[in-house]
Structure 1
């Protein structure tokens, strides 16, 4: 049975009042890939009465009265995706579709959904507590640069006029808040719970509290903005992180309590095995369902957290760097449930998480002292203390693929190839190729210029080249014809037009045809967004080149797809601007023209190896029509 979505549903359960109304910008899907479903089912398991208000009419407060006055509070999120990212492309054009809405129709989710929903809830019932959470609130919990308005905005807690903000993965936090409210504690007095932000007129300072620069200071100075970001970045661990204080006025402060510890394996098993319907609500059937659900219906979440540390990714800020995983037994039980579905065709689409092949914390030291504040686990090279081990993940994959009715188990959530290369035991790579790839493996080098990779905090290009060769050798031994397709980011902070030309040359020389290219999208709270806004590295304070001009951004992107006919004029313009007219014939004229000797020296072992890879990947490109995008 789904959680109530109407008054009639409440009546069927014999309810006169709900404890919480869960408001979300997504359509209601009762599946553990949707945070709304997890929070709703978790509270239900603790005896609370929860109703779901999915994609409400936000033009007035009327829809927020649908279930009557909630006894304990409104719980508000924008949905699985940030509402501004969901509504606008990186070029700030309004998107024509919303995969998280019925039938994929856009327009049912407002811009800055958390703020809009919270203000409507306050209009509906002024005295009812409002708790905000999810990705949109989590990444805007303190002063932050906002790409869409091109200015520094204050904490969303203030603009939403909410009482509490939950950041990170909120299961433990919401239960503690619910218990406090149930015991009669006023929401304004709930100030001790980890994983929350709250407002204060006079914060207490102690040795575990860190004063950030005042909000007005980060508005006035990009250098100060960098300093504040660096302090926040280094205080995001539950063991060594500090309580943070950000001043807005003499009587308004936003306090961020220390993060919650990540859930352990048993707790994750309990969460992911709550009684979900594992379907979108039937009220959406006539409109064609929820498109995003099709992508994850036969996928299994196996882990949380990521120690990859990519500068453009918000996971470090939201889920944290300490990885935790579900047990093999829990994952197998879910796989068995999937095989019983009428429309199951024998394929598990994914078993993974933020990074599929991370299953445990990077090292034992993290469990005692927390993550390192000034070092990354994989960047610029794998840390000597990192424990590289794929054996547990392999056991999970073997157990699932051995089940009756399962033909194939794919890995689509992405693997860290540098972590694979750091593993001296090549069993995982062999079994990956043999059992979990169907023709092509998609990996994310993101770029190939070592200068850009430095700012991305990704491994140098030689690691990708070595992985591609190792992947080729393994498939050759197995007698399998399988290919690599790279995911790439254009116009990332640090990337010049010359770097984009280097990337185009690499793709040409090695024959790679990228499947997915994303122009860098500055989203709140990432290291790369800080660099984009300030044009500085917040840790060294050295200047960073940033392509902000839309014309240059289009040129950098076009160079990646230099082989597309519609990009020809833009590529020529880019090569002329970069002073590389000598490459026009080489990139655009088939084999006419050639790279100069300095370009050739970019690539190690170019002859032989690159021609083999080139020939193979061109076959893949032909079978895919060049590119799927």
Structure 2
């Protein structure tokens, strides 16, 4: 691939002027996010963008584009490789409505708490991009795409919806934590592989035409009850969920397919979680731990985590009420104590730091450092 020789900026570029100032003709990858751009490791666009940049790719971010107009989506031009689309750190429907289906009045991931993202943001953003960039690859990911990768019950419409890949005109879906997976996609495309030929990367889903699926070799796939069946039968729905849940083991998991009326959704086995060295590298970037200076209003979601440190990922609890294991997996990945101490030292040198680390932990409380031999075999 062509290595990125542009020095990593304090903030990743979000405007055409920043792009010009860095001397970039066209970005390798452009991230579309439903969140405001906060350069902090708890915000997906920042951690994904930083990791791609360190791997040699130039990355631009279009945060919270106005989906009713074209201008924001066109503002950074056409990426050399692909668009990466996410609804943000929270499913856009959870972000928009309370459990009583009342519209929320504020969005913690937006400047001033203002409402700036559409419902079902991944689908909306992807449709807009496809209308403007007909031949440019689109990769979707994030919590919204991950948890809607198969036919699923949608509380907000009280119905079973298709896989998000059957509704959004994307080329690939990345599920789970996507740093390594996105980089592998970028490496393959940079080496000349068309995105539609990239069918074997762990942690991804793609679609296949029904006619092609029927004529292809299906041995080795776990074939779920199709969308029409799970939509009409709670028994079929439960069986489909249980079947694909059993395949979320990155060591022993198999490929899973689910027929839909116009396409077949195929999930590759999950990606192996990062080991300690890789996780250390993921968090070893010069995050500003601040919102992009373009914003004049604070981002409410930043303050509770500004001086927090992520120590590990994953949760082996797999509680029925929680989506964590379905997104981050059940294997615990822990950073080294040296990496954590290094991040704390960086924080301590910040002018805005007042002496208190808000939190050192992960989504699964006291599972830091725990391991199991079965996770390796």
Pair in the same fold by TM > 0.5 = yes
How many Å apart are 1:360 and its aligned residue?
3.4
Residue of 294, 311, 314 corresponding to 1:305: 314
Q: Which residue of 2 aligns with 1:360?
A: 369
Q: Which whole-Å deviations, capped at 9, do the CAs of 1:273-310 have from their partners, x for residues lacking one?
A: 122222111111x22x2111101011000000001121
8 Å CA contact retained: 1:61, 1:123: no
Q: Which residue of 1 aligns with 2:95?
A: 86
Q: Which residue of 2 aligns with 1:119?
A: 127
Aligned length: 364
If the length of structure 1 is used for normalisation, what is the TM-score? 0.57
d(CA) in 2 for partners of 1:163 and 1:42? Answer: 22
How many Å apart are 1:206 and its aligned residue?
5.2
Q: Which residue of 1 aligns with 2:163?
A: 155
Q: Which one is further off, 152-161 or 197-206?
A: 197-206
Q: 1:10-159 counterparts in 2 under 5 A? A: 10-105=19-114, 107-159=115-167
Is 1:254–2:265 an aligned residue pair?
Answer: yes
Q: 1:37-436 counterparts in 2 under 5 A? A: 37-105=46-114, 107-201=115-209, 202-203=212-213, 204-205=216-217, 208-249=220-261, 252-284=263-295, 286-287=296-297, 289-368=298-377
How many Å apart are 1:205 and its aligned residue?
4.3
Q: Which whole-Å deviations, capped at 9, do the CAs of 1:198-231 have from their partners, x for residues lacking one?
A: 0112344455321111111101111000000100
8 Å CA contact retained: 2:166, 2:260: no
8 Å CA contact retained: 2:166, 2:263: no
Q: 1:507-586 counterparts in 2 under 5 A? A: none
Larger radius of gyration: 1
How many Å apart are 1:362 and its aligned residue?
4.7
If the length of structure 2 is used for normalisation, what is the TM-score? 0.94
8 Å CA contact retained: 2:279, 2:335: yes
SS at match of 2:269: coil
8 Å CA contact retained: 1:62, 1:124: no
8 Å CA contact retained: 1:164, 1:197: yes
8 Å CA contact retained: 2:200, 2:268: yes
**RMSD between superposed Cα atoms in Å:** 1.2
Q: Which whole-Å deviations, capped at 9, do the CAs of 1:236-279 have from their partners, x for residues lacking one?
A: 01011110011113x62110000000000000000001222221
Q: Which whole-Å deviations, capped at 9, do the CAs of 1:105-125 have from their partners, x for residues lacking one?
A: 1x2011000001111111111
Q: Which whole-Å deviations, capped at 9, do the CAs of 1:359-382 have from their partners, x for residues lacking one?
A: 2345222322xxxxxxxxxxxxxx
d(CA) in 2 for partners of 1:160 and 1:340? Answer: 44
Runs ≥4 residues deviating over 4 A: 204-207
Q: Which whole-Å deviations, capped at 9, do the CAs of 1:300-334 have from their partners, x for residues lacking one?
A: 00000001121111011100001010000000011
Q: Which residue of 2 aligns with 1:443?
A: none
d(CA) in 2 for partners of 1:365 and 1:47? Answer: 35
Structure showing the higher helix proportion among its residues: 1
SS at match of 2:173: strand
Q: Which residue of 1 aligns with 2:7?
A: none
Structure 2: 5+ residue runs without aligned partners? 1-9
How many Å apart are 1:71 and its aligned residue?
1.3
SS at match of 1:291: coil
8 Å CA contact retained: 1:306, 1:322: yes
8 Å CA contact retained: 1:299, 1:349: yes
Structure 1: 5+ residue runs without aligned partners? 369-629
How many Å apart are 1:336 and its aligned residue?
1.0
Structure with the greater relative contact order (CA < 8 A, sep ≥ 6): 1 or 2? 2
Q: Which one is further off, 198-207 or 319-328?
A: 198-207
Q: 1:438-517 counterparts in 2 under 5 A? A: none
Q: Which residue of 2 aligns with 1:518?
A: none
How many Å apart are 1:171 and its aligned residue?
1.1
How many Å apart are 1:188 and its aligned residue?
1.2
d(CA) in 1 for partners of 2:329 and 2:309? Answer: 20
SS at match of 1:21: strand
